[in-house]
Structure 1
Amino acid sequence: MSEVSKILIVGGGIGGLCAAIALRREGFSVDLVELKSEWTVYGVGIIQQSNVVREMARLGVLQRYLDAAYAFEDVGIYNLQGIPLARIPGQRLAGPAYPANVGISRLALHDVLSSSAIELGTQVRLGLSIESFEQDPDGVDVRFTDGSTGRYDLMVGADGVYSKVRGMLFGDKYQPRHTGQSVWRYNFPRHPSIDHLASYTGAEGNAGLVPLADNLMYMFSTSHEPGNPWLDPSQFAELMRDRIKKIGGLIGELREQITDSSQVVYKPMEVVFVDESWFKGRVLLIGDAAHATTPHLGQGAGMAIEDALVLSLELLGDDPIESKLQRFMQRRFERCKYISERSILAGEREMAKDHSFDRVGLTKEMLSRTAEPV
């Protein structure tokens, strides 16, 4: 009999929900606790590339996911004046009948994942986290913040960049670090030309447009914000316009339409990478809790989703749990480290205004690496 049957997931974001879906499909009993009492999501939209579309198929949610998303094939790279530099074709990794990439609103993605997890039998409790835990060779005893308790064969920390579980495992050894950049996002009606991911890149700035639906797209832009200063939310629209003032093309045409500060989503970039085993005993970190990175390669959520799939597969069988989790680490560590390091590198080159940096080459390399089997 398997050493693992009952699993606790801490955190109800993308990684936690995908883990719940994948584990339930393999027959594991899954409890999920989420600190938010109102299960809201932060942000505008998200780019999900070919490896993520492949994993959504393996999770068994592909059609529901595609119904909520905007499918596209290519990535277009432009200079800051809007002149095309390269068009990178996507790979249909989920199969020839399915798209290479999608853009999807974070709310739509959350709805797909949360409803799927619950329908599959995940026991979800909101407004709750863990207070403490003690583990022995056979399991983990957990006390929750409402005073209730539970015993599990495995606890999975999927609780994000500020992971409470990570702190319980490693103390203050791994703390989020501000990279010096922030990202700005804003929704627009979709322009007819934006039927692909359009990335504007150059030494003086970086921005992009991502289709989310037939009538919706979003703009993103990164900016250098040394020291992570506090910015007045009531001024976000003006500040975002200022950050993209040197970018032309369609970005420049749209700039003056950024008028509603309440609709600007501003987020400082913070990173953390656990540079050792992500598990101790029967407690494991996945997703941003283990390897939060920047959005420069559009793979942060993708790595969390892959973590979830690999975990569900490696937990099968009768061998010791330590062997299973070590195999998980062998499949995930270097892949996630590559994405983390290359994403941070892209941001560093932006801040250095490095005219020689080959962003197109890095994008092609990343797409090739992530197309490889997980």
Structure 2
Amino acid sequence: MSSDISKVLVVGGGIGGLCAAIALRRQGVAVDLVEIKSEWTVYGVGIIQQSNVVREMARLGVLDGYLEVAYAFEDVGIYDLQGNALVRIPGQRLAGPEYPANVGISRLSLHQVLSTTAIDLGTQVRLGLSVESFQQDATGVDVSFTDGSAGRYDLVVGADGVYSKIRSMLFGDTYKPRFTGQAVWRYNFPRHPSIDHLASYVGAEGNAGLVPLSDDLMYMFSTSHEPGNPRYEPAQLAELMRDRISKIAGLVGELREQITDSSQVVYKPMEVVFVNEPWFKGRVLLIGDAAHATTPHLGQGAGMAIEDALVLSLELSGSGSVEERLERFMTRRFERCKYISENSIMAGEREMARDATFDRIGLTKAMLKLTAEPI
């Protein structure tokens, strides 16, 4: 790493922040990571890592650390709402022949591997605090933290999610999260023997998916139109999720009546934001959801954050001024992330319109072709 980038602050201890810390530590950069949560918990059920993400996790040196607790699979199957197969899309082993094309893993298991790796590599982690303010000059950034402490850094990386405080400090109210009109529902089940791949059930009257997470676990997801972004009573969630998938038959229909524990339903309104200009000012940069939070329709939200982290570490180790290196980072990331953001949102809009002509298969194939390209 260039001598002018020897100490970096990462704000946010989610997937993007942890991957940035890991990538930077492997380059020999000192990394402090702060996370606003006093308990380092994770939200959600599971995560799909498609072939491009599997490739980058292998490059980060963490994939081998969680394959044993994940579920490796090759293909994506798309079905109609009666469970009839429409297409089977073969996966690509982009990480090499020794690795699977795709991986499903619980968010908790992934967090445990990433956080342990970051700490083992020497990342200094502090929980329960964030950035209070910062002042930057030509050679660094002076940061004041919410616990009264302070530090000076060569670069600050805002990986603090869709409600990013760092984004607000850089851009004011220019970029605020927007509710798309949809929400996503998720629920865990024992893995059905037939779910050895990502199974997506689609139609104008609804949608659902089943994702294997381990040998004995899978989760169901479904997206729904939720006008006005209603706030539901927690005790209602199981009944409401059953209602949202009531027109889907096949395996999803069989599983529907097993959705009984509202406390295990993960319900999340979809909110998006895209910073439509360079994601940095001076020596403060945004990555992941802080810069480009999107919907889950293409299964690439976390993947884009992981790619951001790896590309950032590679560009920072290159030549030129800090500004030139961050500009090269933007050149490699902006259009790719914009494509994922815009097409994910478009897919949701087509769902809400109940557009029977929506070519979801074509969009999925186009996305897989694009993301297979080297970053």
Instruction: Tell me, yes or no, if the aligned pair for 1:8 and 1:155 is still in contact at 8 Å.
Output: yes
1:67-115: CA deviation from partner (whole Å, max 9, x where unpaired): 2210000000000110000000000000011100010000000001000
Is the aligned partner of 1:131 residue 2:98?
no
Residue matched to 2:197 = 196
Q: Distance in 1 between matches of 2:103 and 2:119?
A: 24
Which segment is superposed worse, 113-122 or 59-68? 59-68
- Runs of 4+ with deviation above 4 angstroms: none
Residue matched to 1:106 = 107
Q: RMSD in angstroms over aligned alpha carbons?
A: 0.6
1:41-82: CA deviation from partner (whole Å, max 9, x where unpaired): 000001110001000110011111212210000000000110
Q: Distance in 1 between matches of 2:98 and 2:312?
A: 27
Q: Distance in 1 between matches of 2:175 and 2:81?
A: 36
Residue matched to 1:60 = 61
Residue matched to 2:350 = 349
1:190-248: CA deviation from partner (whole Å, max 9, x where unpaired): 00000000000011111000000111000000000011011111110000000000111
Instruction: Tell me, yes or no, if the aligned pair for 2:319 and 2:325 is still in contact at 8 Å.
Output: no
Q: Distance in 2 between matches of 1:336 and 1:141?
A: 30
Question: Between the two proteins, what is the percent identity of the paired residues?
Answer: 82
Instruction: Tell me, yes or no, if the aligned pair for 1:180 and 1:226 is still in contact at 8 Å.
Output: yes
Q: Distance in 1 between matches of 2:339 and 2:319?
A: 31
Give the structure-1-normalised TM-score.
0.99
Instruction: Tell me, yes or no, if the aligned pair for 1:2 and 1:318 is still in contact at 8 Å.
Output: no
Residue matched to 1:35 = 36
Give the structure-2-normalised TM-score.
0.99
1:226-273: CA deviation from partner (whole Å, max 9, x where unpaired): 110111111100000000001111000000000000000000000000
Indicate the SS of the match to 2:310. Answer: helix
Is the aligned partner of 1:146 residue 2:185?
no
**Structure 1 unaligned blocks of 5 or more:** none
Residue matched to 2:301 = 300
Q: Which residues in structure 2 correspond to 1:150-161 (within 5 Å)?
A: 150-161=151-162
Residue matched to 2:272 = 271
Task: Measure how far apart 1:318 and its partner are.
Answer: 4.3
Q: Which residues in structure 2 correspond to 1:139-218 (within 5 Å)?
A: 139-218=140-219
Instruction: Tell me, yes or no, if the aligned pair for 1:314 and 1:324 is still in contact at 8 Å.
Output: yes
Q: Which amino acid aligns with 2:57?
A: M
Instruction: Tell me, yes or no, if the aligned pair for 2:13 and 2:33 is still in contact at 8 Å.
Output: yes
Task: Measure how far apart 1:338 and its partner are.
Answer: 0.2
Q: Distance in 1 between matches of 2:320 and 2:151?
A: 24
Residue matched to 1:261 = 262
Task: Measure how far apart 1:314 and its partner are.
Answer: 0.2
Residue matched to 1:2 = 3
Q: Distance in 2 between matches of 1:330 and 1:171?
A: 24
Indicate the SS of the match to 1:229. Answer: coil
Q: Distance in 1 between matches of 2:117 and 2:282?
A: 29
**Structure 2 unaligned blocks of 5 or more:** none
Q: Distance in 2 between matches of 1:371 and 1:318?
A: 27
Is the aligned partner of 1:93 residue 2:91?
no
Instruction: Tell me, yes or no, if the aligned pair for 1:56 and 1:65 is still in contact at 8 Å.
Output: no
Indicate the SS of the match to 2:325. Answer: helix
Indicate the SS of the match to 1:317. Answer: coil
Q: Distance in 2 between matches of 1:68 and 1:18?
A: 19
Residue matched to 1:285 = 286
Q: Distance in 2 between matches of 1:14 and 1:360?
A: 28
Q: Distance in 2 between matches of 1:289 and 1:56?
A: 20
Q: Distance in 1 between matches of 2:318 and 2:195?
A: 46
Task: Measure how far apart 1:317 and its partner are.
Answer: 3.4
Residue matched to 2:46 = 45
Instruction: Tell me, yes or no, if the aligned pair for 1:197 and 1:208 is still in contact at 8 Å.
Output: yes
Instruction: Tell me, yes or no, if the aligned pair for 1:2 and 1:316 is still in contact at 8 Å.
Output: no
Residue matched to 2:231 = 230
Instruction: Tell me, yes or no, if the aligned pair for 1:273 and 1:290 is still in contact at 8 Å.
Output: yes
Q: Which amino acid aligns with 1:199?
A: S
Indicate the SS of the match to 2:66. Answer: helix
Q: Distance in 2 between matches of 1:205 and 1:122?
A: 44
Q: Distance in 2 between matches of 1:249 and 1:2?
A: 59
Q: Distance in 2 between matches of 1:295 and 1:201?
A: 15
Residue matched to 2:243 = 242
Q: Distance in 2 between matches of 1:231 and 1:364?
A: 35
Instruction: Tell me, yes or no, if the aligned pair for 1:3 and 1:319 is still in contact at 8 Å.
Output: no
Q: Which amino acid aligns with 1:266?
A: Y
